[in-house]
Structure 1
């Protein structure tokens, strides 16, 4: 297929505001001042450290997306007048747990779509487990924007920390939107929720072939039955909105009512933007992409799928192959010469570089099928793209992340199969690139890391809580109320407007 059909440009986006989020009933947001770091933060000098099991094995449970945070609505999230803010939230809301049908104490990680919107300046977001790391310990970035008031999103798999919470840090004051796509439940052997990679990523849909874009408020049903097993629960896809006719966003869902969520946003006319998702599938192997208020062409590549309980009329074989082990995000490679490894260099046009991943940092030397990564291209010389792949020949047509202009910094989540513990990155134009790893998939040849449930813990004590006060302060110095829901309901000592809170955090 011609390279002309390959998406080669990306443009950041406006997050969709389809309706007020239902998740406001359960959210808690704690603001903590954190230090300001560089735009794409450098990795620690640990590339030759001995490998360790960074987490516990888990299986994936796909859900129809649930919005759990949108700080554009009053009373929730980071302030608009400060930099370096960090918030923590519980993504395992009652709606998420009900949809997944799992014990929240058995959840090891969450699959989220993370959007930065209305930033006051060039910025980035970090995502990491609450209580298990600080922002200074995390050398990776999940989302980057290049200018003020730019909106851009990225898929991310984040291990949950203390109380099942995750933390998100913004370099500059910005709004943040979080949509949960699924959860990883602890398991050492499972029939469903195991990753099966395709040998080569496969292009399943390209509406440019028909010259008919998906219209505003329209839907595109994607049939993946030709590339995934019967009974697959979800598919790992890379999608592109291209030749857009205005601003809008895409929502991936199993069909029916369109959920209040977005996976990919685009801004303006004739823009192209790529993003990843683990799309829940209907029993017939289809999923749906809904378009908001402006038409766009859509390209979909399939990387692999998640097994289901049944294949045809038979139960799927239980195995550890394809189970996921989340780790606290870590930087494995940065081509910029001043970063680790020192003295590296950008990729020249139409060249590739092989990277050793297995045996580095938290990724074991053996037993690894593939890795979940965040692939960033930066210091670009113009429009171009990167391709992450296991071995030659390079898949074509396919792209993992795309740039639109010179000096563009943009990232996309990429799940990649390893070959002999390595993966390769190809660049169409000159570009630096960064590989951050958030977990790995087992190949079934080694004993999975042991899985245990988290223990319930007492909610964190809010600082400076006045003695004997039965109502939270009403002034704006105490905006971050800690709502007593779920496992925290028993601690609801304070009430306001019919809701209970166990404390508040002064800002």
Structure 2
């Protein structure tokens, strides 16, 4: 593998005697921007890197964590007793259940006699099903029949599709099916014994595992400052989701922008299904005096709520704004994208003019038909505020509507801060951004994906789990200007993207984290055939020295390769934590 003047390739062994991994040292693009209150590193178009040596630290390497963690399959069952006996075409007689099959048939003068007990009266079918993918199910029909009979089995999937198969007594006939649209279906299986004029039907209701997204006008569901009081340390508060703000009872997950404020000490917030087991992961981290927002996608509990846990030593105020929900009703699927910059007010990209958005000012920008399809119902963004002249917030909302009483990005004077945003698109394909501060701020927007009726990526929630923590993985922090490759779903077909929460901590310099798909397979790193990866020109989160910063990342899988890169685009070491909450599947 070529190691040119812009890269250094080294092979190393981790300090615990682990496998040999490849390391690349990359001097990537960054630009130093002078803001009114200091100098910060912010993402920019590719330029020659400053003549400054990269930070030295433990080699970056990679993580191959094995098979993709998947949710537990849903199962469905209908016993033999539910089999209903029917008369074949050309015969007359009432339908009889399996329990009635042995009863003597009543006939009138014109009715043809139903099959006698010797004519396969024991015919029945047992149905056992399970979900296999977001759109897929598998159904097994176990046939009970008199010996020596030849049978025909018909699967009516409830969506206009029918499959047929030959069957034999005692045989289990198995079929798989993919539904084009998510939802609930009634599947009917018919077993026919033509030789004995016998036929039985059994039915089983089932539903797909995946969930589609329905955009929701940004709406505040929780604000402890105006009701209920602060959330006490090491306790949680419940947020009603199902049945609230016109969110249906069948919502399976929700997209919330959660903000913690009025903090007296450091800590973290964890979002999880109401009434469920709290996971050992975090969604946002905070320090004393900070106001920190973060987007979360979290399953809704059986009681229709979501819990927000305060993992700090002192009480905090929590705010939760909904921007959409997931359900098993066909709506909008997700399509991930390689991040693309669509707005940068510093250069005038996507903005009405070059320069900061004035205090209390707003503007709209075109996305539909330009960066995403014209029928996109919502977009997934990473929105960055930089160079603010005073503290404030940004609100992102559909064009053509009044700005809601919600926030997406909170900032202090001179701070560069990013946050993940999911927002509905206006009927004209535009979104609007309002500066809630009284002084100017620059705004950067990167599009990372979109939701549309034509997209088939269905959300699959998994038990939250930690995929990476460089504080404990044995190879030390991630050095500046290097990346870690992470295998999440290599060789898994139909995985379009991942829902991750990334957190940087123990930061030594200002910079930003970028997440992008990798064209290389895990094997190519080990056999040294991996090709060069250019650093992305977009940011997933921004940080300054000594800060702990989280952000939700909806990362593209890059197809069956299933590997992503996490770039430290600063000149100092960082520790990186990655938690996984779900993925999008097209199968």
Q: 1:3 aligns with which of 20, 27, 30?
A: 30
Q: Aligned with 1:388: secondary structure?
A: strand
In terms of fraction of residues, the more strand-rich structure is 2
Q: Deviation per CA, 1:222-254: give whole Å up to 9, x if none.
A: 211311011110111111011101011111111
Displacement of 1:432 in angstroms is: 1.1
Change (3 A) 1:76 1:93: farther
On the 8 A contact 2:335/2:496 being kept in 1, the answer is: no
Q: CA deviation at 1:327?
A: 2.3
Task: Quote how far apart the aligned CAs of 1:93 are.
Answer: 4.8
CA distance in 2: counterparts of 1:205 and 1:221, whole angstroms: 10
- State the distance in 1 between where 2:554 and 2:542 align: 16
Counterparts of 1:205 and 1:397 in 2: how far apart (Å)? 13
What is the deviation of 1:114?
0.5
Whole-Å Cα distance in 1 between the matches of residues 299 and 537 of structure 2? 32
Among 411, 416, 432, the residue aligned to 1:266: 411
Does the alignment pair 1:141 with 2:268? no
Structure 2 residue 553 is matched with structure 1 residue 414 = yes
Post-superposition shift, 1:154? 0.4
CA–CA distance in structure 1, aligned partners of residues 213 and 320 of structure 2: 18
Structure 1 alignment gaps of length 5 or more = 11-45, 98-102, 309-315, 445-507
Answering whether residue 313 of structure 2 is matched by residue 170 of structure 1, we say: no
Q: What corresponds to 2:301 in structure 1?
A: 161
Quote the offset at 1:404 in angstroms: 1.1
What are the within-5 Å matches in structure 2 for residues 311-350 of structure 1?
316=454, 321-337=456-472, 342-350=473-481
Q: Contact 2:275 / 2:302 at 8 angstroms: preserved in 1?
A: yes
Structure 2 residue aligned with 1:68, among 202, 221, 236? 221
- Displacement after TM superposition at 1:400 (Å): 0.9
- Asked whether the equivalents of residues 489 and 563 of structure 2 are also in contact (C-alpha less than 8 Å), the reply is yes
- In the other structure, the counterpart of 1:400 is 540
Match of 1:476 in 2: none
2:445 is aligned, of 300, 311, 317, to 300
Measure the CA separation in 1 of the matches of 2:576 and 2:495.
23
Output aligned runs, 1:451-466, within 5 Å. Answer: none
Q: Structure 2 CA distance, aligned partners of 1:271 and 1:336? A: 26
Q: Deviations over 1:424-470 (max 9, x none)?
A: 111123111111111100033xxxxxxxxxxxxxxxxxxxxxxxxxx
Over the residues paired in the alignment, what is the CA RMSD in angstroms?
2.4
Q: Please identify runs of 4+ aligned residues in structure 1 that moved more than 6 A.
A: none
1:354-365 equivalence runs, <5 A? 354-358=485-489, 365=492
Distance 1:77 1:121 in 2: 14
Query: Relative contact order: is structure 1 or structure 2 higher (C-alpha 8 Å, sep ≥ 6)?
Result: 1
Task: Decide whether the 8 Å contact of 1:201 with 1:395 is kept in 2.
Answer: no
CA deviations over 1:152-180 (Å, ceiling 9, x no partner): 11001011112111111112221100001
Superposed displacement of residue 111, structure 1:
0.1
Structure 1 Cα separation of the partners of residues 499 and 360 of structure 2: 32
Match of 1:22 in 2: none
Structure 2, gaps ≥5 residues long: 1-27, 34-39, 44-63, 74-208, 349-353, 520-532
Aligned residues: 372
- 1:454 is aligned to none
- 2:336, 2:70 → 1: CA distance? 24
CA distance in 1, matches of 2:339, 2:535: 7
**How high is the TM-score relative to the length of structure 1?**
0.69
- Retained in 2: the 8 A contact 1:372–1:413? yes
Q: What is the aligned partner in structure 1 of residue 57 from structure 2?
A: none
Under a length normalisation based on structure 2, what TM-score does the superposition of the two structures give? 0.60
Q: State the 1:194 CA deviation.
A: 0.9
Deviation at 1:85, TM superposition (A): 1.7
Q: Which one has a bigger Cα radius of gyration? A: 2
Structure 1 residue 118 displacement after superposition: 0.7
Judged with a 3 Å threshold, the aligned counterparts in structure 2 of structure 1 residues 220 and 424 are, in CA distance, closer, same or farther, namely: same
Aligned partners of 1:385 and 1:292: how far apart in 2?
A: 24
Maintained 8 Å contact 2:222/2:321: yes
Q: Secondary structure at the match of 1:163?
A: coil
Q: CA deviation at 1:126?
A: 0.6
